[in-house]
Amino acid sequence: MKMREGTGESSVLRDAFHVRRKVFIEEQNVPESIERDEIDAGAWHVVFYLDGHPVATGRLFQIEGKAYGIGRVAVMKSCRGTGTGKRVMHALLKKAWQMGATYVEIHAQAHACAFYEGLGFEKVGNTFMEAGIEHVTMRVKS
């Protein structure tokens, strides 16, 4: 599996949008109007490829100061359960720590909390609805 990274309007971002469309819009019925946002332009994106096709993505962005956020983590159905999601998260966390983050926060879909807990994240709030899906804020410190 190969990884590419980038920011702004790059081919990496185009491929990230492809994965996000398949997972969030087509699979999870997230409205297209809210799937992309102003964070995308300034975020650091990773995309993982299998046989030349984009299969997983995620983004890292600065919240404020040394606080960073991870979002839009998506893995194509065919690659779930293969460790691809962990690869995405490890790449994003590595970049966050390199950038001096003191903590990283994620709005995790509630069903995925165990996955993020396995990466060291802890719940820091109550569940809430986002895009019609139950989420919880989770955080990991450096």
Distance, CA of 44 to CA of 64 (rounded, Å): 15
Residue that the structure tokens 């709030």 belong to: 125
Confidence of residue 88 (pLDDT cuts 50, 70, 90): very high
Q: How many CB atoms lie within 10 A of CB 137?
A: 17
Bridge-based pairing of strands 67-75 and 53-64 is antiparallel
Q: What percent of the chain has pLDDT over 70?
A: 99
Q: Are 93 and 127 in contact, with CB atoms under 8 Å apart?
A: no
pLDDT of residue 104: 98
Residue 43, C-beta contacts closer than 8 angstroms, at least 6 positions apart: 7, 59, 60, 61, 71
pLDDT-based confidence at residue 6 (cuts at 50, 70, 90): confident
pLDDT above 90 for 49 = yes
pLDDT at 8 over 80: no
pTM > 0.85: yes
Q: pLDDT-based confidence at 27, cuts 50/70/90?
A: very high
Q: DSSP 3-state assignment of 17?
A: helix
What distance in Å separates the CA atoms of residue 132 and residue 93, rounded to the nearest whole number?
A: 27
Does residue 10 contact residue 46 with C-beta atoms inside 8 Å? no
| CA atoms within 13 Å, Cβ hemisphere of 130 | 16
- Residue 12: φ, ψ to 5°: -65, -45
Beta-sheet pairing, 122-130 with 133-141: antiparallel
Mean pLDDT of the chain: 94
